[in-house]
Amino acid sequence: MKPTRHVLQAMGLAVATVTLGLSPAAHSASGKLVLTGGVSTIEGSGGGGLTPWALIGTQATDNEWGVAANVSQARTQDYRLDTLGAMVAWDDRLEFSVGSQSLDTGPTSRQLGAPGQELDQVIVGVKYRVLGEAILDADTWLPQVAVGVQHKRLDAGNRIEGILNSVGADTSGTDFYVSATKLFLKPAVLINATLRATEANQNGLLGFGANGSSGYQIMPEVSVAKLLRNNLAVGAEYRAMPDNLELRPVGGGRNGLASDDWKDVFVAWAPRKNVSLTAGYVDLGRIVPATTSNRDQTGYYVSAQFSY
CATH number at residue 161: 2.40.160.40
pLDDT in tens, 218-228: 999 999 999 99
What's the mean pLDDT in 181-189? 92
Q: What is the reported pLDDT for 291? A: 86
Nearest to 104 by CA among 250, 205, 11: 205
pTM across the whole model: 0.88
Partnered with residue 299 across adjacent β-strands are 76, 282
Burial of 170 (0-12, 13-18, 19+ CB in 10 A): middle
What backbone phi and psi angles, to 5 degrees, belong to 26? -85, -10
pLDDT in tens, 117-137: 899 999 999 999 999 998 888
Residue 222 has a CB neighbour count (10 Å cut-off) of 17
Residues in the chain: 308
The model's confidence at residue 50, banded by pLDDT at 50, 70 and 90, is very high
The yes-or-no verdict on residue 15 having pLDDT over 90 is: no
Nearest by Cα to 240 from 281, 205, 207, 202 = 202
Beta bridge partners of 183: 190
Cα distance between residue 267 and residue 235, in whole Å:
6
Q: How confident is the model at residue 163 (pLDDT cuts 50, 70, 90)?
A: confident
* Model confidence band, residue 39 (pLDDT cutoffs 50, 70, 90): confident
Lowest model confidence (mean pLDDT) among 28-37, 44-53, 63-72, 213-222: 28-37
Q: What's the CA angle centered on 125, arms 91 and 67, to 5 degrees?
A: 45
- The CA distance from 109 to 153, in Å, is 19
DSSP for 25-80 reads GGB--S--STTTT-EE-TTSSEESSSSB-SSPPSS--TT-EEEEEEEEEEEESS-E
In whole angstroms, how far apart are CA 283 and each of 38, 82, 84, 243?
A: 21, 16, 21, 16
The number of beta carbons lying within 10 Å of the beta carbon of residue 267 is 15
Total domain count, the chain: 1
- Tens of pLDDT, residue by residue over 226-272, are 999 989 999 999 999 999 987 655 554 556 788 899 999 999 999 99
Calculate what percentage of the chain has a pLDDT beyond 70: 86
Mean pLDDT throughout 41-64?
Answer: 93
Q: Which domain holds residue 161?
A: 5-307
Q: What single letter denotes the amino acid at residue 191?
A: I
Residue-wise pLDDT tens digits, 62-97: 899 999 999 999 999 999 999 999 999 999 999 999
pLDDT score for 159: 86
Residue that wins the pLDDT comparison between 189 and 256 = 189
Half-sphere exposure of residue 109: CA atoms within 13 angstroms, side-chain side: 19
pLDDT given for residue 114 in this prediction: 77
Q: Residue 30's pLDDT is what? A: 52
- What DSSP string runs through 100-161? EEEEE-THHHHHTT-TT-EEEEEEEEEEEEEE--TTTTTTSSPPEEEEEEEEEEEE-HHHHH
